[in-house]
Amino acid sequence: MSKDVIIACDFDSRKEVMDFLDLFTGKKPYLKIGMELFYAEGPEIVREIKKRGHQIFLDLKLHDIPNTVMKAMAVLSRLDVDMCNLHAAGTIPMMEGALKGLTRPDGTRPLLIAVTQLTSTSQEAMERDLLIQKPMNEVVMHYALNAKKAGLDGVVCSPLEASDVHRCCGKEFLTVTPGVRFADGDTGDQARVTTPAKAREIGSDYIVVGRPITRAENPVAAYERCLKEFLG
Residues 228, 211: Cα–Cα separation, whole Å: 18
User: 8 or 46: whose CB is closer to ligand C5P?
Assistant: 8
Q: From 19-27, 111-119, 124-132, 143-151, give the range in contact with ligand C5P by CB under 6 A.
A: 111-119
**Among residues 8, 33, 114, 207, which is the contact residue for ligand C5P, using CB under 6 A?**
8
**Among residues 46, 72, 191, 209, which is the contact residue for ligand C5P, using CB under 6 A?**
209
Q: Which residue from 60, 179, 181 is spatially nearest to 120, judged by alpha carbons?
A: 179
119 in contact with ligand C5P (CB under 6 A):
yes
- The residue with its CB nearest to ligand C5P is 210
Residue span 50-89 as binding mask against ligand C5P, x where in contact by CB under 6 A, dash where not: ---------x------------------------------
Q: Where are the alpha helices (DSSP H) in the chain?
A: 14-22, 35-41, 43-51, 66-77, 92-102, 123-130, 136-149, 162-169, 196-202, 211-214, 219-231
User: 31 or 102: whose CB is closer to ligand C5P?
Assistant: 31
219 in contact with ligand C5P (CB under 6 A):
no
Per the annotation, the verdict on 15 as an active-site residue is: no
Residues 141, 167: Cα–Cα separation, whole Å: 10
Provide the greatest CA pair distance for the chain: 49
Q: Is the dihedral of CA 152, 1, 209, 22 positive or negative?
A: negative
**Among residues 37, 156, 165, 207, which is the contact residue for ligand C5P, using CB under 6 A?**
156
User: Residue 106 gets which letter from DSSP?
Assistant: T
Q: Which residue from 31, 132, 32, 146 is spatially nearest to 87, judged by alpha carbons?
A: 146
Instruction: State the minimum distance, in angstroms, from the CB of residue 155 to ligand C5P.
Output: 9
Residues 183, 196: Cα–Cα separation, whole Å: 9
Contact between 43 and 18 (Cβ < 8 Å): no
User: 62 or 208: whose CB is closer to ligand C5P?
Assistant: 208
178 in contact with ligand C5P (CB under 6 A):
yes
- Interface of this chain with ligand C5P, residues 10 to 39, rule: CB under 6 A: 10, 34
Instruction: State the minimum distance, in angstroms, from the CB of residue 118 to ligand C5P.
Output: 4
Catalytic residue among 61, 100, 149, 171: 61
190 in contact with ligand C5P (CB under 6 A):
yes
Residues 31, 7: Cα–Cα separation, whole Å: 5
Residues tagged active-site: 61
Interface contacts to ligand C5P, rule CB under 6 A:
8, 10, 34, 59, 115, 118-119, 156, 178-179, 188, 190, 208-212
